[in-house]
Amino acid sequence: MILLATVIAELVGILLAWLIHKITARYFPSLHAILRSIDEVSRHPELLKSPR
């Protein structure tokens, strides 16, 4: 029963993330660009380091 609840919660989270992605891409392109750059930096943290 707990496993089923966990699977349902994960699926709802994925669905909400996809929906937010689609809404921001369609109606708020500047916000979507900001979210995309945040996602890119989170995948590549070395982009945050300043060159010395």
Largest CA distance in the chain: 54
At 26-49, the pLDDT tens digits run 888 888 888 888 888 888 777 667
| pTM reported for the whole predicted model | 0.58
At 8-30, the pLDDT tens digits run 999 999 999 999 888 888 888 88
For residue 49, give the 3-state DSSP assignment. Answer: coil
